[in-house]
Structure 1
């Protein structure tokens, strides 16, 4: 139910405001609405810098100015390249999944690590035939230190049970191994950016190599970007491809299904395709 009460120029005290809110709650109001949708992520474009010709005096060394402007960008690229080399070197040293978890825990190339509560490596059976790769930990995952334990994870468990699979099953033929591209929660559950994904790929690739699943399920755009270099999950889903040297099935993320229940029909078709491939 929408609230259409508008107070123009009227000053009310706190007790009156609380009484009005309670009255609206009793009427069934459960969501504040504006007259038109407001996209709070649509930030205004930054102001354009002044033209160089307007601020550089005649005869000035414009080559030096250009070099000074590009220096921070070049430094940023160098830092990313160094962080990527470190990620590749650390992941290559791992001889087991436990080694990899320990090495990645000590990796400081990702700034978002500083704001996360827990390192979220994996869950399920490492010997499983299927490895499911998601995006990144959310709030619940960050709190518990396990991937896919929030509402989306609960839906994932229901989906897997529907085809006789699960993360807790002792039988490796029906168990699954679950991980995310990023092992630390991005601030505010935002989507990982391209740099964060690229710095996580060496660890993810090594995790897949060490777990050695028969099939990789890529749930959402971020895993597809990391493993395939492509996005557009609504186009990619349901079509078998190759990722990390093995068969891979892109699927929509359970969080997407919670927001778009109509897409559950396609997710069910993808699950049946997975079960058929496994001969379950």
Structure 2
């Protein structure tokens, strides 16, 4: 258990549908973080970019990426998370993988599929809201379009940090930044949003805008657009709890049931 959680944001360009190229690039980018962080966050579909051809690009859960994540996490002494297209039981999911340095694996399947990009025609939606316990922190994983659905992400006094990994186009960068801050404020929790940069084969341009936000909605990590970077931020659970005790909004929250199958 730790009060200070060091979270490293990795904002980078991704090679289109080139898993091995992306894994090698990310290995090089993450190498300097050895022993200097607790958790590394990669973008959505970090092996391929946001593609709609899972029939040829998705991999089984025990494909090449999960063993690579386990090896990297072990060597770096930190957990690593991000999403990958996974084939399971003849269907495809956009899966958020969370792998610890001890080789433990947790995951969440993207619930809200981006219909404007036809994601719902190629992937199956997740059926549950997941929580991950890591070093005494309660973490809510989410993926890109999930960010627009505050009821699904509502803090029921069950998480301290929300992570959103994305391929969010620059044309909608203002909603991306605004929603990340709004989710932090309304849920009295830290929020880390990690996006990519560059352009993909679908003609979309990504400006990045990866940010970390504290429980008051204040930015604790922010960089100029279109720049690759790696930054480690220190999240303070004691400060979070002190704020929650002083300003207990959660006590007045409405009870509800998501009604998921």
Which structure would you say has the larger RCO, counting Cα contacts within 8 Å and 6 or more residues apart? 2
Whose strand fraction is larger, Structure 1's or Structure 2's?
2
